[in-house]
Structure 1
């Protein structure tokens, strides 16, 4: 396992008995997936917290540290007058975003209607988003199912590692707003998330990842706080990634072949 990922891993034998030393378990695929998700998971809750629309266009700074560079389209007449494109930027050197992570880079949001209107379409794109020492790019196409549910297609994504962009995950994510929280507190909304993704890790090994227990997250937290995912690497046994019971600390547990491995996501 590459030391450059800065893992904090402790293997615990499920039986609690001491065993002879074994070869390290192959968990690179799970680690890659786990490290990538914080670049993507908060993006839809972030958009919902912005609540873009008439009367809210200038309010980005009150919710997030991103700067609204410009807007194209008729903001006063939206959504009747047509779509809107927002050009947002996290400044050079980075700043603390809504979910508590340091982000740097530009984000483009396109809307054809309010995000709470059924069948509304939206997209979120980023060519080079830097967050806590990593870099990612992705394109999301979303549809509003109703005022509290959104389905998102992950059209393309990548994460920067070892000097080259490499492919990561594609697939579907379904978000549901389960608690609006306090309207005066940014980042207080609670969401559940289910996904079905296919991708490849840093070595090129393909994998399938999906939720087996809905994931829980707050718009003000940069990590998944609860729920469980199953990652099925090519030619390896399934690995489960347990996100715990609600703490916003990046601590997870990988469960594989009767063993548990603690993983702290930076």
Structure 2
């Protein structure tokens, strides 16, 4: 049985006070309303991590995530945060390879592979993002594009390590644009990813891997998306900044 996961990526939003208020609202709503078997991940900005962790402590369904980690163990990398630093403050998940990191910071497949390795070495679960821009979608090469992202950054891993990865498919053309892949488009791509993984690691590893959808998932489309055979949850951006919307997405299974 694959794990159902809804992760909230707050990106560069919320002051500390705003973030703690949002966390408290989510904790109360999840505790009161969510009865299903779903794992919730909150990925606030780095400065929020320690205090958010205190608020979610003892809430079985809610786990702490980070939005990124550096691809070095330690050293003279001003402004960066390492995987072992994240682990030291209670982080359990870390988002790696988000499309914004790839685009704005030019993160390469090789660099992302190093981040994945360091995350796993520090017992963090990578949420590895992949997805295609609009021009790749329109020229019909999106399956090859996404599979190359996965293969180049993850296929160096042995089965036991690879099995600890969570994949998040994020069609870049549907992030922050208000556009959403149809449920058929999402299912098609998730199935392609699962088949690609099965070719390398076998059916058991592939079938047990959680693959999340990460493109403008909202309360009004989450239920349809999550009903797809190969969609195991969502990596939520804008809607994760509203406690009611985020909780309703969590309840969409």
Q: State the TM-score bracket (shorter-chain normalisation).
A: 0.3 to 0.5
Q: Which has the higher helix share?
A: 2
Give the alignment's TM-score, normalised by structure 1.
Answer: 0.33
Find the structure with the greater CA-based Rg: 1
